Structure formats: C-alpha cells, structure tokens
C-alpha cells in the first residue's frame, strides 16, 4: 500500500510526492523562504510544464529554458530561477551518484540512520536541518526506518510533535506546524533582544 502524503495540500501534487521520491526530495529542497505547502507544489508545476516529472529530463534540460519554466507564473518558488538551478543540481547529483534512483539514497547497501543522514546532507541544497527533517519524514510517514533513524533525525523524529514537514498529515497539522515555527521564531527573537 502506498502512503498518500498531504504536504502540498492539493490531491494531484500530493499524489506526485507520494509516488515519486525525486519529487518529494525536490519539494523538500524548495521548502525555504516560501510557504511549505506551496514549496511542495513545485514538483507538480514542473511536471505539468514538462509533460511529466522525470529526473533525467530535469538534469539534462537546457538551464535557461528550465529556469524560464520554473519562473513562469505561477512560479515554483518565490525565487523561481535560483530554485530551478538548485533543482537541476540536485537532479544531476542523484543521476550521477545514484543512477537516477532517488530511493537508493536510503536503500543502497542497507544503510543505518546515520549513513542516510550523511547521504542526505551531501545533496546539493540540503544542510543539516533539512536532511534531518527529510529523514524524519521518511521514518514517520513512509515507513523507511533504518536502524538509528530516530537518533539521526533528532528532535524531528519525536512522536506526535508538530515541528516540521515530517509531521504534516492534514490541513490541521499544517497549521500546528506553522504555529510551532512562529512560536520558535518569536522566542529566538525575544532571546536575541535580551
């Protein structure tokens, strides 16, 4: 049974995220400086404009044409051209290092959680936090639970938490995650003002 994610909050976009690991990886890449659900709709926009979502076609696309495709309203991101470049870098990396098989990142060689985290952090556009959130998303929602994944994902793996994309399963949990992020930001701002 395939799990249906609810990150984009749009059935067709969530279907793509649920069925295509590279679409999910791309949505997570786009999740910065942009409303989360809109970021996760980016892969569907690309798919609509490229007549399908194909990692090899994305990797091989003419960079200028791909930037134009990504920046055309409604753009895949507030910074459509920049994110188009990052998306192509990510696609090229996965093609070069994993033969275009995104799931190999967490599957090849039966890696433990620490190794999956290392592989995710090596991806273009993925820092420590984004990699931990993605690892938690794999474990919490997709049943990908390599040994030690919870420790590697850190606080993002906490059961019933509402701190990241890993915790969004419906419209209500999206609002709870948004409220958590707003509270953390306010607390950090207040602490910095002291």
pLDDT at 115: 98
**Model pLDDT for residues 153-185, shown as the tens digit of each residue:** 999 999 999 999 999 999 999 999 999 989 988
Of 79, 78, 80, the residue nearest 70 (C-alpha): 80
pLDDT-above-90 percentage for the chain: 91
pTM recorded for the entire structure: 0.95
Whole-angstrom CA distances from 103 to 70, 71, 107, 116, 182 are: 24, 28, 6, 11, 32
Instruction: Write the secondary structure of 142-172 as one string of H (helix), E (strand) and C (coil).
Output: CCCCCCCHHHHHHHHHCCCCCCCHHHCCCHH
pLDDT at 3: 81
Rounded Cα distance, 179 and 32, in Å:
16
Question: Which CATH fold would you assign to the domain 11-158?
Answer: Endonuclease III; domain 1 (1.10.340)
**Model pLDDT for residues 120-148, shown as the tens digit of each residue:** 999 999 999 999 999 999 999 999 999 99
């Amino acid at each position: 049974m395939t799990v249906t994610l609810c990150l984009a909050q749009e059935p067709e976009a969530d279907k793509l995220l649920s069925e295509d690991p590279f679409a999910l990886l791309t949505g997570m890449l786009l999740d910065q400086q942009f409303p989360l659900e809109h970021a996760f709709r980016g892969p569907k926009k690309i798919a609509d404009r490229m007549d399908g979502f194909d990692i090899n076609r994305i990797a091989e696309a003419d960079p200028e044409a791909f930037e134009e495709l990504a920046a055309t309203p409604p753009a895949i991101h507030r910074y459509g051209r920049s994110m188009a470049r990052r998306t192509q870098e990510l696609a090229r990396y996965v093609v070069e290092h994993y033969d275009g098989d995104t799931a190999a990142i967490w599957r090849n060689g039966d890696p433990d959680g620490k190794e999956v985290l290392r592989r995710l952090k090596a991806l273009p556009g993925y820092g420590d936090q984004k990699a931990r959130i993605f690892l938690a998303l794999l474990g919490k929602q997709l049943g990908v639970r390599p040994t030690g994944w919870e420790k590697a994902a850190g606080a993002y793996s906490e059961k019933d938490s509402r701190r990241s994309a890993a915790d969004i399963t419906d419209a209500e949990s999206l609002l709870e995650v948004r409220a958590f992020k707003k509270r953390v930001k306010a607390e950090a701002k207040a602490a910095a003002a002291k």
